[in-house]
Amino acid sequence: MAKSGNIVRISGPVVEADLPDARLYDVVKVGESKLLGEIIKIVGNISVIQVYEDTSGLKPGEPVVSTGEPLSVELGPGILQNIYDGIQRPLKDIEKQCGGVFIKRGIDVSPLDRKKKWNFKATVKTGDKIKQGDIIGTIQETELIEHRVMSPQEGRVDSIKSGNYTVEENVGTLSYEGKKYPLKLYQRWFVRKSRPVTEKFPPRIPLVTGQRIIDTFFPIAKGGTACIPGPFGSGKTVTQQSLAKYSDTQIVVYIGCGERGNEMTEVLKEFPHLQDPKTGKPLMQRTVLIANTSNMPVAAREASIYTGVTIAEYFRDMGYDVALMADSTSRWAEAMREIGGRLEEMPGEEGYPAYLARRLAEFYERAGRVRCLGSKERYGSITIIGAVSPPGGDVSEPVSQNTLRVTKVFLALDASLAYRRHFPAINWLKSYTLYTDGLEEWYGENISTEFTKMIKNAMILLQKEAELQEVVQLVGPDALPEKEQAILLVTKMLREDYLQQNAYSDVDARCELDKQYQMLKTIMKFSERTNSAIDLGVQLKKIQDLPVISTIGRMKEIVDMDEFEKLQKQIDTGFDEVSKR
């Protein structure tokens, strides 16, 4: 039922065509070179199309053909380890078809490899009654991840057989209410619609990221949402990449939305060499990359976020914990603004379309910890971590504000911290998390109830430091009483030896929770001992000269947990000595 018509007008990525009976959001092929586009507005017989490729040279009168289907992604084995553009075309295959390094127009490649045979093991039998979302079989897609093939449909299994199949071959059939449905290894899903679940739950388990400032002070829950706003150069991308590398999820979907080409290349070159901390296998085996760099067509950038989140939902439905990194959602919003402008829509705040807030909320709402669809109990989650790039670093602009309203964790990146090479440059006074209460129980059971107390005390010290710094700015540090100077000594330790973490260090790039606990315990012990020593009348100068301070300064490098016990003993002996004299 392919409908066709002709181009009437061209203005940048927006094309108007005379296309009778068109449906909103259907995908169309535009012009002689068959550029991919999507219908975004219909006025009478005229369809307004956003084209995912450069429209130079297109002429009025050229044909437009509708595929009769909305923009969808292919979900099946072969997604992992792949790198896609914004509309799920594998960049590797594009390179092959273009025969060069530049992306030419009108390239048509299928998202999943049509030739590759997958070893499918059926887990249901002929005669079984299954529901939508039930697992009908598995494929070992990579060494790390077992791909669970789910039934798109309720019914009775007529036939099913294990064996080697390509994605298009039938592995069996299903009948429901007299109709027969073929079972395949892949399915298609409309990207702008979220995939259904049985039930959503409040998040209760932390996403362990291995980043001290996040895990300790601003934990993100599995199934939660977080945003990272910050001006350029404050380390958004490094933070996002650290989270992608070191967080304890099974699947990572990384969307490079309107960002730098060289940065995506870095991810591409680096991930195959990075090892999964648990299994030692390359991280790439659990990763899907979506790269729509800033100079690639703007309409595909708009679609890239939806493509990514739909893929994430598919793996969640298998029962996996998925982390989705979107870098950056501001570029996505700008793509909406650009297209909105071409459509001559009435702009809202700062030229952004009026539906910006709704789109952002809809996107973040696709996160969550869920009971998956299907008759057997299965739980999965999507955690969304979105970077925001506010102009000039000022978060009062619409994208930041609308994001803050829906996300629960706010990691405020701070340029002044970045200037002094304090990384991750997350400002501990401005950031917040709303998951602390929900996660307290988990931390208590799995780490120590003492941990949450220490965290609160450490935070109080850091806040106190900010107040004291104001005084110091006026009168100098020596005017403070010794007790307050001691606070500054401890908070300096907290900042330099705890909050700072080197993403490029072999040992320190990922810090396990028990090490975090020990490190914080060491500093807090030092703080307590300092306090009581000063009460005893020990001079602060003597404490400052304790050799243990420089040992603490190098505790990030510790690998063996027993070392911490020694370190804490060293603190005790050091203080015992100065208190004696």
Partner 1 sequence: MKEYKTINQIAGPLIFVSDVTGVGYNEMVEIMVPGGEKRKGQVLDVGRNIAVVQVFGPTTGISTSQTTVRFLGETMRLGVSSDMLGRAFNGLGEPRDKGPNVIAKEKIDISGLPINPYSRESPNEFIQTGISTVDCMNTLVRGQKLPIFSGAGLPHNQLTVQIARQAKVRGTGEKFAVVFAAIGITHEEASFFMRDFEKTGALENAVLFLNLADDPSVERIITPRLALTTAEYLAYEHDMHVLTLITDMTNYCEALREISSARQEVPGRRGYPGYMYTDLSTIYERAGRVKGSKGSVTQIPVLTMPGDDKTHPIPDLTGYITEGQILLSRDLHRKNIYPPVDPLPSLSRLMNSGIGDGKTREDHKGVSDQLYAAYANGRDLRSLSAVVGEEALSATDRRYLKIADEFEKRFVQQGSYENRDIDQTLSIAWDLLSILPEDELKRVKRDHIKKYLNKKEE
How far is the C-alpha of 284 from the C-alpha of 261, rounded, in Å?
18
Task: Assess 481 for contact with partner 1 (CB under 8 A).
Answer: no
Q: Which stretch binds partner 1 (CB under 8 A): 315-323, 385-393, 399-407, 508-516?
A: 385-393
What number of residues does the chain have? 581
Cβ neighbours of residue 576 under 8 Å, at least 6 residues apart?
none
3-state secondary structure of 418: helix
Task: Assess 396 for contact with partner 1 (CB under 8 A).
Answer: no
Nearest to 478 by CA among 525, 420, 524, 544: 544
CB of 356 to partner 1, least distance (A): 13
Task: Assess 10 for contact with partner 1 (CB under 8 A).
Answer: yes
β pairing state of 172-176 and 155-160: antiparallel
CB of 261 to partner 1, least distance (A): 5
Q: CB of 523 within 8 A of CB of 451? A: no
Task: Assess 467 for contact with partner 1 (CB under 8 A).
Answer: no
By beta-carbon proximity to partner 1, the closer residue of 313 and 327 is 327
Nearest to 204 by CA among 366, 511, 444: 444
CB of 557 to partner 1, least distance (A): 10
How far is the C-alpha of 285 from the C-alpha of 81, rounded, in Å?
5
Task: Assess 273 for contact with partner 1 (CB under 8 A).
Answer: no
Binder of partner 1 out of 92, 121, 161, 376 (CB under 8 A): 92
Task: Assess 494 for contact with partner 1 (CB under 8 A).
Answer: no
Site for partner 1 in 14-53 (CB under 8 A): 16
CB of 471 to partner 1, least distance (A): 11
Task: Assess 104 for contact with partner 1 (CB under 8 A).
Answer: yes
Task: Assess 102 for contact with partner 1 (CB under 8 A).
Answer: yes
By beta-carbon proximity to partner 1, the closer residue of 425 and 462 is 425
By beta-carbon proximity to partner 1, the closer residue of 20 and 553 is 553
Sequence-separated contacts (24+) of 104-109 with Cβ below 8 Å: 105/33, 105/35, 105/53, 105/54, 106/33, 106/34, 106/35, 106/53, 108/34
By beta-carbon proximity to partner 1, the closer residue of 83 and 494 is 83
**DSSP code string of 166-197:** -TTS--EEEEETTEEEEE-S-EEEETTSPPP-
CB of 376 to partner 1, least distance (A): 38
By beta-carbon proximity to partner 1, the closer residue of 94 and 205 is 94
Per-residue binding string, partner 1, 306-335, x by CB under 8 A, is -------------------------x--xx
* Site size toward partner 1, by CB under 8 A: 78
Q: CB of 50 within 8 A of CB of 336? A: no
Task: Assess 125 for contact with partner 1 (CB under 8 A).
Answer: no
By beta-carbon proximity to partner 1, the closer residue of 69 and 108 is 108
Site for partner 1 in 420-459 (CB under 8 A): 420-421
Binder of partner 1 out of 22, 58, 367, 558 (CB under 8 A): 58
Task: Assess 127 for contact with partner 1 (CB under 8 A).
Answer: no
Task: Assess 398 for contact with partner 1 (CB under 8 A).
Answer: no
Per-residue binding string, partner 1, 150-189, x by CB under 8 A, is ----------------------------------------
Binder of partner 1 out of 78, 256, 374, 386 (CB under 8 A): 256
CB of 476 to partner 1, least distance (A): 4
Task: Assess 482 for contact with partner 1 (CB under 8 A).
Answer: no
How far is the C-alpha of 155 from the C-alpha of 382, rounded, in Å?
28
Instruction: List the end-to-end C-alpha distance of the chain, in Å, as a whole number.
Output: 93
CB of 233 to partner 1, least distance (A): 4
How far is the C-alpha of 460 from the C-alpha of 474, rounded, in Å?
22
Q: CB of 262 within 8 A of CB of 421? A: no
3-state secondary structure of 323: strand
Q: Which stretch binds partner 1 (CB under 8 A): 161-169, 265-273, 364-372, 450-458?
A: 265-273
φ, ψ for residue 233 (rounded to 5)?
Answer: 85, 5
- Cα–Cα distances in angstroms (integers) from residue 462 to residues 188, 212, 493, 499, 523, in the given order: 51, 15, 11, 11, 13
